[in-house]
Amino acid sequence: MGRQRPPKNVVVEPDADVSGPVAGLYPTDTGTAELIPDGDNPNGWLLMLNGVQSSHVDLADPLRLEFEYMRWIMALVQDRWAPDAKLRTLSLGGAACSMPRYLVAAYPNSRNVVVEIDGKLANHVRGWFDLPRAPLLKIRVGEAREVTESLSAASRELVIRDVFAGAKTPHALTTAEFTAAARKVLVPGGVYVVNCGDSPALATARREAATIAAVFEHTVIIADPPMLKGRRSGNIIIAGSDAALGDGAGLPRALLGGSMPAQLWDDAKVRQFGQSATILTDAV
């Protein structure tokens, strides 16, 4: 998804002129958004941004996540926190707000902030999908790094990075400097999770793994076996924390469910995976 800097940070409220999803192509601040009905689900909608699949929303069920990588991230979250937890979350990259919408439903006491660089897209999404209102779910228009660096220390339990420009995450959101900024925002025991898109060579994932491992004491990777074996392009989830992640039997068991079962790599395996890679920095 091609992205540009917004003119300023604003909080998005529902657009009175937009009410419910209608199939079609819509202009946004950074290109186009296309809404496509899900032929297998009368309540489902697929959101394409600049021709790339971005999000899926089930209007009747916020706990239904069509994209496997989103289910993996939520499995990691639910392995860490009970449903009554008072989570404060930061989602970098909004699109259709599928995961923040899930978090509101799964964690009724949570407060969720979404950072989306495209203000027109954020307005569309609020109107199309009848998202929960603030303070449950707040959309802030802004650039993800700038917003993250502006937040108070120890102000979030969870930070999720799911930002793409086309097929890649902008370099400034992958570096050790940015990862340290994300860690500063987290409370003790908080979790930083990134969605890393990569090719079969896995060069990007290795560098991201090395970078996150350099900032956090504990890491995990979640992905399906063909992806981890370098047989296809796709998504690899990498997470970091100052507390152990997925150290019980629950998370590996949960990841075996769904149409695409995933594996969990522990901290030792993540560090081995990234040991030959160069850490990402603002300069390199």
Which residue type is seen at 265? W
Q: How confident is the model at residue 17 (pLDDT cuts 50, 70, 90)?
A: low
Residue 18 has pLDDT above 80, yes or no: no
Centre a 10 Å sphere on the Cβ of residue 171 and count the other Cβ atoms it contains: 13
153 pLDDT higher than 90 = yes
Q: In the predicted model, is pLDDT for residue 8 greater than 50? A: no
Whole-number percent of the chain with pLDDT over 90:
90
Which tens digits make up the pLDDT trace of 210-227? Answer: 999 999 999 999 999 999
**pLDDT recorded at residue 284:** 75
Local confidence band at 5 (pLDDT 50, 70, 90 cut-offs): very low
Burial 99-126 (b: 16+ CB within 10 A, else e): bbbbbbebbeebbbbbbbbbbbbbbbbb
Asked: is 66-274 a CATH 3.40.50.150 domain? The reply is yes
Among the residue ranges 6-15, 179-188, 224-233, the one predicted with the least confidence is 6-15
2 three-state secondary structure: coil
Ordered by start, the domain boundaries in the chain are 66-274
* pLDDT at res. 190: 98
User: Per-residue confidence at 1, pLDDT binned at 50, 70, 90?
Assistant: very low
The residue-averaged pLDDT of 245-262 equals: 92
C-beta pairs of 105-112 under 8 Å, 24+ apart in sequence: 105/62, 105/63, 106/63, 106/74, 106/78, 107/81, 107/83, 108/83, 108/84, 109/84, 109/85, 110/85, 110/86, 110/136, 111/86, 111/87, 111/135, 111/136, 111/138, 112/87, 112/88, 112/136, 112/137, 112/138
Average pLDDT over residues 151-155: 98
Judge whether residue 3 has pLDDT over 50. Answer: no
What would the mean pLDDT of 71-91 be, rounded to a whole number?
A: 98
Q: How confident is the model at residue 23 (pLDDT cuts 50, 70, 90)?
A: very high
pLDDT of 13 higher than 80: no
In whole angstroms, give the CA distance from residue 21 to residue 57. 10
Residue 7: pLDDT over 50: no
In this prediction, residue 15 has a pLDDT band, given cuts at 50, 70 and 90, of low
The overall average pLDDT reported for the chain is 93
pLDDT over 80 at 16, yes or no: no
Residues 6+ apart with CB under 8 A from 220: 76, 238, 239, 245, 246, 264, 265, 266, 267, 270
pLDDT at 263 over 60: yes
Taking only the tens place, the pLDDT of each residue in 89-133 is 999 999 999 999 999 999 999 999 999 999 999 999 999 999 999
pLDDT tens sequence across 54-64: 999 999 999 99
Least confident of 28-37, 161-170, 181-190: 161-170
pLDDT score for 188: 98
